[in-house]
A and B are shown apart, each in its own frame.
Chain A
Amino acid sequence: MTKILVGGVGKVDVAERLKEIGGLEVVVTNDMDAATRLMAGQADYYIGTCHTGAGGSLGVLVGLLGAARCFTFGRGQATAAEAAAAVAEGKVAFGFSIDQIDQVVPILAGAIHERRRDG
């Protein structure tokens, strides 16, 4: 199963939304731990949230994984195309603003599922 690490300010809410959607293994953790696990191949994706959609969300991940592997929706909303493109480009760490959790999480989870099915 696809393993998703969740961190940042709204991690409890994001994890709940992901569990409602289902089909993913969700682990609530933090950015430092997530960076270590992603680099070691122990997880597939990281989702972080904060007020800006990048600082507390992505945190050390940009430094450790490189900006090329990280993607921020910023404070804005996500479109399915945007999320699918980011996943297809090989982004593994996603950040967005906590007040967009209800909107972004289903779209992002959808994009990750899609990617999984296509192999």
Chain B
Amino acid sequence: MKTPPGSVSRYTTAARINHWITAACLILLALSGMALFHPSLFFLTGLFGGGAYTRAIHPWFGSVLLVSFGILFIRFVRFNLWNSDDNRWMGKIGRVLANDEENVPEVGRYNAGQKLVFWGMTLLILALFGSGIVIWDVYFAKYTLIGQKRIAAVVHSLAAVGIIGIWIVHVYAALWIKGTISAMMRGSVSAGWSWRHHRKWLRETAGRR
């Protein structure tokens, strides 16, 4: 999609597709996982054709997510490297939450919060996949002992709750910071949005023009 005038290109089409596949997987995983996590949510298995289908398809969603997120990771890892600005930004997190970004350090492509989401997702996805393999009984039951499976089950559910929490933060941030969704929907953001939230990135982008 062509970047409209006055806008800044933030995500390529491929990146957006990549993101939304990942997002869809994560949502499906959350729904199917939560269905098997707590009895009160078991009704969610209905979305997937019942308990057995839910159990069977969940790890496949996870596998797709792993690949999709892996590409996403390669795409964005270089923008998510931590630097000293991030520490300072974190020090001013209270200002950020109060919608006052004037006195926080200028932010590059991603702010520290976004980086934390990125790394949180990365680590938890690895943990989920690793523990998920251990309890993916259809194919892998025979390779581990029951004690290891129990650890994996606990790790898996802890990590899942963690990643869902991060996901909530991620989604909320997109809703809260107006103008953000356009980045993933249309690939571009307004110059004002960029100025307000990612000034350093805006300057760099401009410099490359």
A binds B: no
A residues adjacent to B (C-beta < 8 A): none
